[in-house]
Amino acid sequence: MKRRVAVTGVGMITPVGLNTDESWKALINGKSGIGPITQFEDKSMPTQIAGEIHGFDSLAYIDAKEIKKMDRFIHFAIAASQMAMNESGLTITPENAEHVGILVSSGMGGLPAIEKYHKIYLSSGYRKISPFFIPMLIVNMASGQLSIRYGAKGPNSCIVTACATGTHSIGDAFKIIQRGDALAMIAGGTESCICPLGVGGFNAMKALSTRNSEPQRASRPFDAERDGFVMGEGAGVVILEDMEYALKRGAKICAEVVGYGMTGDAYHMTSPSPNGEGAARCMKMAIKDAGIAPTEMGYINAHGTSTKFNDENETAAIKTVFGDHAYKIPVSSTKSMTGHLLGAAGGVEAVISILALRDGVLPPTINLENPDPECDLDYVPNKARQSQVDVVMSNSFGFGGTNACLIFKRFRQ
């Protein structure tokens, strides 16, 4: 019999809030976190906007002497993890340390550090490169630093699957607990690469919105006037525990993880397979894993990037999986407010899905003013909706044709 897996804590830092509560309140109020880029200046780039996090104080979470050893994506991971740990009340002790693991990942890692020290190398030579440069940039150091911070000696890993990174990380952590290799896992995604190479690279692909004069209206999933996605940064982390272990220690159960799917398109580097075929198989896999009927689905947090290829293909995939019931399922893209957090997106959107379940509030898709005729589902346009649902799904699809889906359920003993 499969072990049941509980969510006992969540944490997120996003362009709309410096903590979980602030972010959640902003999201259900339809607030956009998109604005002019302040982390660098290059007026030659077509895109001048992003979902930046303003006012974040690393010192609130990390000792001053340690900050310089980590790039910003690790700072975010530590902050979101601390929020989640505080909520969960999980304590790691010598007795349980070997049974608590970490799986917090990033899609791009320390790209800003690479930029910075490459410039230093070119101008001053290798002797001026920080001895912390490599630990700053490698993606698995989010998990590594968290393991050291908390003394977690269980499974420790990192998954890099582009925009599906956070979802795969939570899904794999779920399976680690389910098969008995850990009692608890700190899992999620983190990202911070709003830098010249990051923004420049996506500009070169013509993937980003150039609605610079109206940044808060630039991310518009499922809208006919969308012109690309908007980059964001942040982190989303959950604490997963073996249900029996969590109940025994008296933990409050936020939700139960019940299903996980992962598939590959085997089609194209950056474009989804036609009609979202790979995404549809992924959702079906998660539903089968959850042991639920498709008609039980109450809400879907869509990948919803605000690009033509994603929005239309994800819509088609949802119709393939749910048939006529697809038109009865509220579907929203919170990327309309946060922008696309890349490797952190799945972590943040898992937290959002869990909070929607907890509070009975479905966050909106803002800026949906002129729906694409190919996108004809209920996207919770522009205003949050009160709705008590029992089952929610979070979708993430990444470059390379990698797909991940998570299903959460209201906890019942």
User: In the prediction, which pLDDT does 145 show?
Assistant: 98
pLDDT in tens, 321-331: 999 999 999 99
pLDDT in tens, 263-282: 999 999 888 888 899 999 99
Instruction: Determine whether 118 is an active site residue.
Output: no
Q: Which of 158, 340, 375, 405 is catalytic?
A: 340
SS3 (DSSP) at 13: strand
Place 390 in a pLDDT band, splitting at 50, 70 and 90. very high
CB half-sphere exposure, 77, CA atoms < 13 A: 36
- Which two tokens mark 144? 């590594």
Q: What value does the mean pLDDT take over residues 234-238?
A: 98
Q: What burial letters (b/e) apply to 135-152, b meaning 16+ CB within 10 Å?
A: bbbbbbbbbbbbbebbeb
User: In the prediction, which pLDDT does 271 show?
Assistant: 83
Tell me which of 166-180, 235-249, 262-276, 291-305 is least confident: 262-276
pLDDT in tens, 142-169: 999 999 999 999 999 999 999 999 999 9
Alpha-carbon span 248 to 102, nearest angstrom = 21
Instruction: Determine whether 325 is an active site residue.
Output: no
- Which two tokens mark 160? 């890099």
User: In the prediction, which pLDDT does 269 show?
Assistant: 85
First to last CA, the chain: 16
Q: What value does the mean pLDDT take over residues 357-374?
A: 97
User: In the prediction, which pLDDT does 273 show?
Assistant: 87
Alpha-carbon span 142 to 16, nearest angstrom = 22
Q: Which of 193, 303, 375, 405 is catalytic?
A: 303
* Percent of the chain at pLDDT exceeding 90: 98
pLDDT in tens, 105-133: 999 999 999 999 999 999 999 999 999 99
pLDDT in tens, 84-104: 999 999 999 999 999 999 999
Q: Which of 163, 195, 254, 405 is catalytic?
A: 163
Token pair 């582009």 is found at 162
Mean per-residue pLDDT over the chain, rounded: 97
Is residue 167 within 8 A of residue 262, CB to CB? The reply is: no
pTM, entire model: 0.98
Residues 6+ apart with CB under 8 A from 118: none
Alpha-carbon span 138 to 394, nearest angstrom = 27
pLDDT in tens, 33-42: 999 999 999 9
Sheet holding 234-242: strands in order across? Answer: 100-105, 184-191, 234-242, 5-13, 255-264, 402-409, 391-398, 299-301, 331-332
pLDDT in tens, 197-219: 999 999 999 999 999 999 999 99
> What are the structural domains, with CATH classification, of the chain?
5-248 (3.40.47.10), 261-409 (3.40.47.10)
